[in-house]
Amino acid sequence: MTKRLLIRTWGCQMNVYDSERMAEVLAPLGFGPTEAPEEADMVILNTCHIREKAAEKLFSELGRLRLVKEERRQAGRDMVLAVAGCVAQAEGAEIAARAPYVDIVMGPQTIHRLPEMVARASRAGGLVLDTDFPEESKFDHLPEARTQQGVTAFLTVQEGCDKFCSFCVVPYTRGAETSRPAAAVLAEARRLVEAGAREITLLGQNVNAYHGEGVGGLSGLVRALAEIPGLARIRYTTSHPRDMGDDLIAAHRDIPQLMPMLHLPVQSGSDRVLQAMNRGHTADEYRRLVDRLREARPDLALTSDFIVGHPGETDADHEATMQLVRDIGFAGAFSFKYSARPGTPASRAPLQVAEAVKDARLAELQALLAEQQRGFNAARVGQEFDVLVTGPGRHPGQIAGRSPWLQAVHAEGPQGLEGSIIRMQAVSATANSLTCVLKDSAKPLPEQHAA
């Protein structure tokens, strides 16, 4: 490798996946990884528009990189500076105006055109702006090879969203719902398994709306993936309650490789707020859906997303959310204050909630969610379950892994067991991890293993 590439990734797992693919399409141009900006011939900031003040954080980072870029230029070494992802898609013109030293601004659907953009930026100079939604799928043009490191992997199967929740910018930055053909997904999954992956997480902005050619819905895809020899665990994220059909619930009951952990965002426990959010479901419909899922898979653990302070939210609405959390019980959750996203309906809505009120509501909600997460982890103490070993632990003589419920696990054990699935018993718990002891020796790696 003669050039150095630094990719900084913010946001969801889909951005992590996209960053991996960007590195892969640039590898034939001679780019290898670096973590040091001053060594980088190219820096890509892969952005997320979901988090609060995303644009401000981007411009702050660009300001620091501008100095590095100038120092390299004075030393006779060029740096290509690129902004990718959802902020680039939504605010490309502002990036061009406020940061004219940026060379490339590209949306998340244009990764396959990145080598061409680099060539144009390097040869002609000036800004290369590509935030179109191309008619052809980027997946049709990305290389087949995947660089697999470790025993877990992400695999994007669906992108975009047609739900148009009032607070969300995804339909405007990722576009309409599209699904990859099942044959392409299965082929990539087989390559990942051949490269050492034992657990694959299927990704999509609205993954359970998957309708790829060849298997139909997500349940059919999961069933097909479960037939791949060596693939021990399957997960998927992120789901929408409106697309959790009977067939997918049955898959949780029938397919042992499908892990008993489901991220199912509800956002609010108030029907009035849910309607204002355009979520398309009520709080009780969500409760009944959870009941059906738990009936199908009694050991299923749930995580969720919550937004407090959506425009018009009252104290009674907030209490309805608190009650829903008490009723259901979550193993974990992401919770945020409402933050206006330009161009979304909620950003123009009246009755915006005061920041101090949002702060207080978020603190109360997060305290309850943290209590539930600690309780869920504590309830695992004394239980036996299979752990996927992901590598060495932090301390000598330790191994690290994942429980079926995605908890971090560490235990005393021999090294070199990456990819093995070992029966363990939890002996203590913290808010974020479990300490376990081995119950038996490492299980062999069968062609199919029910984790």
Looking at the domain assignment, is residue 173 inside a domain? yes
Q: How many CB atoms lie within 10 A of CB 378?
A: 15
Looking at the domain assignment, is residue 287 inside a domain? no
What is the DSSP-derived secondary structure letter of residue 113?
G
User: What CATH number has the domain bearing residue 395?
Assistant: 2.40.50
Is there a contact between 351 and 312 (Cβ–Cβ < 8 Å)?
Answer: yes
Same domain, 148 and 126: no
Same domain, 125 and 153: no
Distance (Å, rounded) from C-alpha 224 to C-alpha 2?
41
pLDDT in tens, 340-357: 887 789 988 889 999 999
Between the alpha carbon of residue 397 and those of residues 151, 157, 376, 400, the distances in Å are 20, 38, 27, 10
Instruction: Specify the pairing of strand 384-392 against strand 421-429.
Output: antiparallel
Looking at the domain assignment, is residue 11 inside a domain? yes
Same domain, 168 and 125: no
Does residue 183 carry a pLDDT above 90?
A: yes
Determine the average pLDDT of the residues in 386-412.
95
pLDDT band of 428, cuts 50, 70, 90: very high
Nearest to 142 by CA among 110, 119, 170: 110
What number of residues does the chain have?
451
For the chain, first and last CA: distance in Å? 39
Same domain, 7 and 126: yes
Question: By mean pLDDT, which of 115-129, 283-297, 345-359 is the weakest?
Answer: 115-129
436 is in an annotated binding site: no
Does residue 402 carry a pLDDT above 80?
A: yes
Look at residues 259, 276, 295 and tell me which one is the last residue of a structural domain.
259
Same domain, 24 and 118: yes
Determine the average pLDDT of the residues in 402-417.
95
Q: Which two tokens stand for residue 165?
A: 């929740």
Looking at per-residue pLDDT, the higher value among 246 and 168 belongs to 246
pLDDT band of 150, cuts 50, 70, 90: confident
CB-based contacts of 426, cutoff 8 Å, min separation 6:
380, 381, 382, 383, 385, 409, 434, 435, 436
User: What CATH number has the domain bearing residue 230?
Assistant: 3.30.750.210
Identify whether 238 is preceded by a cis peptide bond (ω within 30 of 0): yes
Domain that holds residue 428: 384-438
Same domain, 41 and 78: yes
Burial class (CB in 10 A: 0-12, 13-18, 19+), 29: middle
Q: Would you list the DSSP string of 190-232?
A: HHHHHTT-SEEEEE-TTGGG---TTT-SHHHHHHHHTTSTT--
Looking at the domain assignment, is residue 326 inside a domain? no
Looking at the domain assignment, is residue 14 inside a domain? yes
Same domain, 97 and 151: no
Between the alpha carbon of residue 165 and those of residues 28, 68, 244, the distances in Å are 40, 39, 17
pLDDT at 445: 44
pLDDT band of 186, cuts 50, 70, 90: very high
Percentages of the chain per state (helix, strand, coil), in multiples of 5: 40, 20, 40
Looking at per-residue pLDDT, the higher value among 49 and 153 belongs to 153
Question: By mean pLDDT, which of 59-68, 105-114, 134-143, 375-384 is the weakest?
Answer: 134-143
Is there a contact between 348 and 338 (Cβ–Cβ < 8 Å)?
Answer: no
pLDDT at 233: 98
Q: What is the pTM of this model?
A: 0.81
pLDDT at 268: 98
pLDDT at 146: 59
What mean pLDDT, rounded, does the chain reach?
91
Long-range pairs, 444-449, Cβ under 8 A, ≥24: 445/198, 445/230, 445/419, 445/420, 445/421, 447/229, 447/230, 448/226, 448/227, 448/229, 448/230, 448/231, 448/232, 448/257, 449/232, 449/257, 449/421
Of all helices (H) and strands (E), which one includes residue 51?
Answer: none
Does residue 414 carry a pLDDT above 60?
A: yes
pLDDT at 446: 41
Distance (Å, rounded) from C-alpha 379 to C-alpha 433?
12
Nearest to 107 by CA among 83, 141, 80, 123: 83
Same domain, 98 and 172: no
Does residue 447 carry a pLDDT above 50?
A: no
Can you tell me which residue has the tokens 């935030």? 131
pLDDT at 145: 56
Count of domains for the chain? 3
pLDDT at 123: 83
User: What CATH number has the domain bearing residue 53?
Assistant: 3.40.50.12160
165 is in an annotated binding site: yes
Looking at the domain assignment, is residue 317 inside a domain? no
Does residue 333 carry a pLDDT above 80?
A: yes
Of all helices (H) and strands (E), which one includes residue 308?
Answer: strand 301-308
Under DSSP, is residue 320 helix (H, G, I), strand (E, B) or coil? Answer: helix
Sign of the CA dihedral 269, 274, 279, 283?
positive
Determine the average pLDDT of the residues in 377-390.
97
H helix count then E strand count, the chain = 12, 19
Torsion of CA 363, 286, 281, 208, to 10 degrees: 100
3-state DSSP of 382-449: CCEEEEEEEEECCCCCEEEEECCCCCEEEEECCCCCCCCEEEEEEEEECCCEEEEEECCCCCCCCCCC
Q: What angle do CA 11, 13, 18 make, to 5 degrees?
A: 90
Same domain, 122 and 75: yes
Looking at the domain assignment, is residue 292 inside a domain? no
Distance (Å, rounded) from C-alpha 439 to C-alpha 56?
50
Same domain, 27 and 101: yes
Q: Kindly report the backbone phi and psi dihedral angles of residue 437, in degrees, each rounded to the nearest multiple of 5, phi listed first.
A: -125, 150
Does residue 420 carry a pLDDT above 60?
A: yes
Look at residues 130, 165, 180 and tell me which one is the last residue of a structural domain.
130
Look at residues 259, 293, 308 and tell me which one is the last residue of a structural domain.
259
Same domain, 52 and 159: no
Does residue 119 carry a pLDDT above 50?
A: yes
pLDDT at 131: 82
pLDDT in tens, 11-52: 878 888 889 889 988 988 999 999 999 999 999 999 987 766
Looking at per-residue pLDDT, the higher value among 143 and 266 belongs to 266
Tell how far CA 448 is from the center of its chain: 26
Looking at the domain assignment, is residue 124 inside a domain? yes
Looking at per-residue pLDDT, the higher value among 108 and 335 belongs to 335
Same domain, 117 and 217: no
Instruction: Specify the pairing of strand 104-106 against strand 433-438.
Output: unpaired
Does residue 140 carry a pLDDT above 90?
A: no
pLDDT band of 165, cuts 50, 70, 90: very high
Q: What b/e readout covers 56-87, taking b as 16+ CB neighbours within 10 angstroms?
A: ebbeebbeebbebbeebeeeeeebbbbbbbbb
